[in-house]
Amino acid sequence: MHQRSALRTRTVAFTATAGLAASVAIAAGAQAATPTDTTDLQEAVTVDGVLEHLQALQGIADANGGTRQAGTSGHVDSVYYMKDLLDAAGYETTIQPFSYQRQTLVSAEWGVPGETPYELDTDYYPMEGSGTANAAVTPVDLSLGDPAASTSGCEFDDFAGFTAGDIALLQRGACSFEQKALNAIDAGATGVIIFNQGNGGIDRTGMFYGTLGETVAEIPVISTTFDIGVALSETPGLTMLLDVEMLTEDVDTMNLLADTPTGRTDRTVVVGGHLDSVGEGPGINDNGSGTAAILETALQMAALGIEPENRVRFAFWSGEEDGLLGSEYYVSQLSKSELKGTSVNLNFDMVGSPNAVNFVYDGDGDAFGLSGPTGSDVVEDVFTSFFDAAGAPTTATAFDGRSDYLGFIEAGIPAGGLFTGAEGIKSEEEAALYGGTAGLAYDPCYHAACDTIDNVSTATLDIMSDAIAHATLTFADTTSAVSGTAKGKAKGHSKDLEFLGSHAVR
């Protein structure tokens, strides 16, 4: 009964310790909660069961042009696959429709007229906006020293002396790309080039993918590398051609919500992950893995007859790949009492990467200096305690706003979750700790057509599924509020964050 196939390699016999229960209680000023034994649920949530859902999602993508992107039939079929199973298990399901606009690149050209143009997706990438600019390139308030503490374009005064009609050359740093682009547009720029900041590793020097948030620019805005930006800034009298065409389309899509029929609604635990893929592939690791593990956890909770102390809302978001739009919409629709009644958000996005690291979100901020709302430290501790008990290592990952927890932490709701890596490169130290291959991406098929059922590590998915089951039941059954929700603070968490979905915003 504990092992449904040979793929099942471990079950961590783990009871939420008295110390952990006390930490939840202390954070909220309440009495210590009774420890939660999650062993039965962990044993019921097998990697075999999760893989069954991933096979179904792969089949759905295969039948729908190879994708499950928001707004496509592949996404609709994914939603109803999960909804049918959750309905049959006794959950109260809700379809939450919403709409937005998506820009898709049609064509792009950038370079010095008469010379070899720069290479799309290697040297530069369009953020947003369509149009043609053939004009002088004017640097704006750059900072090329060490450290490169750039505030380029963050203030309209940065454009003093800027000639209307020029292309603005801006440097990443300090404020959002949207703010920089809007200031450039107000100054009369016909195009905008934003180059990487230059202060750190590859993520601050190499190519990056940006978005302007809700702004749909009427001029072309592109991103490029630090080295290219420096070279442009040191070329006086430079004139460049920048020609970008974007297709804007209306997207109608939906979130799927599934509530336990019992449990305190004033302490709702939202367990979520995004169900949409990118248009380029089926998205089996990103994020079939997280949503399949969440689904199997929900089904096995029902099969075991678990009646949680607190209502659990299993959420399957859409529009994440276009900017966290489904989860942001969900939070925006909550009333003040519903915000107050949301105890915690657990987010699971990519939990089966083939060259994985066990990343846990840095809820207390001790690793990166950017913590979640009060109580997020407790969420982090639940996960790290679980992996410690399993004899497995963990590594902190920053609350950088790159996944669907963002809307929750902006609303003051404690959050946390797991992640096994995307396009980042595994270090020698990480390979020594976790195995795998140093110098290779955690997920070499990130946002690509090869993100198929063959792109998932069953060993990684196994322990991550156990951790998901454990954390879900731990927060479902705690009798203590997680600090940060007991007072119902529905205030905005600073949006000084670097990513929305898969794209940088600052």
Residue 494, domain member (yes or no): yes
Measured in degrees and rounded to the nearest 5, phi and psi for residue 42 equal -60, -40
Same domain membership, residue 425 and residue 390: yes
Residue 459, domain member (yes or no): yes
The whole-number pLDDT of residue 199 equals 78
Q: How far is CA 269 from CA 125, 310, 333, 385, 459, in A?
A: 38, 7, 17, 19, 27
Same domain membership, residue 370 and residue 279: yes
Structure tokens at 22: 């006390």
Same domain membership, residue 237 and residue 292: no
- Distance, in Å, from the CA atom of 405 to the CA atom of 419, rounded to the nearest integer, reads 12
- Distance, in Å, from the CA atom of 441 to the CA atom of 175, rounded to the nearest integer, reads 28
Number of domains, the chain: 2
Same domain membership, residue 118 and residue 23: no
User: Would residue 320 show up in a list of annotated catalytic residues for this protein?
Assistant: yes
Give pLDDT tens digits along the chain (506 positions).
Answer: 222 222 323 334 444 443 344 334 323 333 334 568 999 999 999 999 999 999 999 999 999 999 999 999 999 999 999 999 999 999 999 999 999 988 888 999 999 999 999 999 899 999 888 999 999 999 999 988 876 778 999 999 999 999 999 999 999 988 888 899 999 999 999 999 999 988 765 567 888 888 776 656 789 999 999 999 999 999 999 999 999 999 989 999 999 999 999 999 999 999 999 999 999 999 999 999 999 999 999 999 999 999 999 999 999 999 999 889 999 999 999 999 999 999 999 999 999 999 999 999 999 999 988 889 999 999 999 999 999 999 999 999 988 788 999 999 999 999 999 999 998 899 999 999 999 999 999 999 999 999 999 999 999 999 999 999 999 999 999 987 675 554 433 333 333 334 344 445 55
Same domain membership, residue 394 and residue 335: yes
The whole-number pLDDT of residue 491 equals 33
Can you tell me whether residue 416 is helix, strand or coil?
Answer: strand
Residue 434, domain member (yes or no): yes
Same domain membership, residue 451 and residue 419: yes
Indicate the residue among 224, 248, 272 that finishes a domain. Answer: 248
Q: Which of 43, 296, 309, 320 does the annotation list as catalytic?
A: 320
Same domain membership, residue 416 and residue 268: yes
Residue 8, domain member (yes or no): no
> What type of residue is 201?
G
Among 196, 182, 499, 477, smallest CA distance to 324 is for 499
Q: Identify whether the C-beta of residue 171 lies closer than 8 Å to the C-beta of residue 142.
A: yes
The whole-number pLDDT of residue 329 equals 97
Could you tell me the CATH number of the domain that includes residue 449?
Answer: 3.40.630.10
Could you tell me the CATH number of the domain that includes residue 199?
Answer: 3.50.30.30
Among 454, 465, 371, 457, smallest CA distance to 416 is for 371
Same domain membership, residue 265 and residue 243: no
Residue 2, domain member (yes or no): no
Indicate the residue among 201, 221, 248 that finishes a domain. Answer: 248
The whole-number pLDDT of residue 323 equals 85
Q: Identify whether the C-beta of residue 170 lies closer than 8 Å to the C-beta of residue 192.
A: yes
Residues spanned by the domain of 431: 18-91+260-504
Same domain membership, residue 109 and residue 81: no
- Distance, in Å, from the CA atom of 194 to the CA atom of 182, rounded to the nearest integer, reads 13
Residue 13, domain member (yes or no): no
Same domain membership, residue 477 and residue 375: yes
Same domain membership, residue 267 and residue 180: no
Residue 10, domain member (yes or no): no
**Within a 10 A sphere around the Cβ of 83, how many other Cβ atoms?**
19
The pTM for the full model equals: 0.81
The whole-number pLDDT of residue 347 equals 98
Indicate the residue among 197, 215, 248 that finishes a domain. Answer: 248
Residue 289, domain member (yes or no): yes
Same domain membership, residue 355 and residue 475: yes
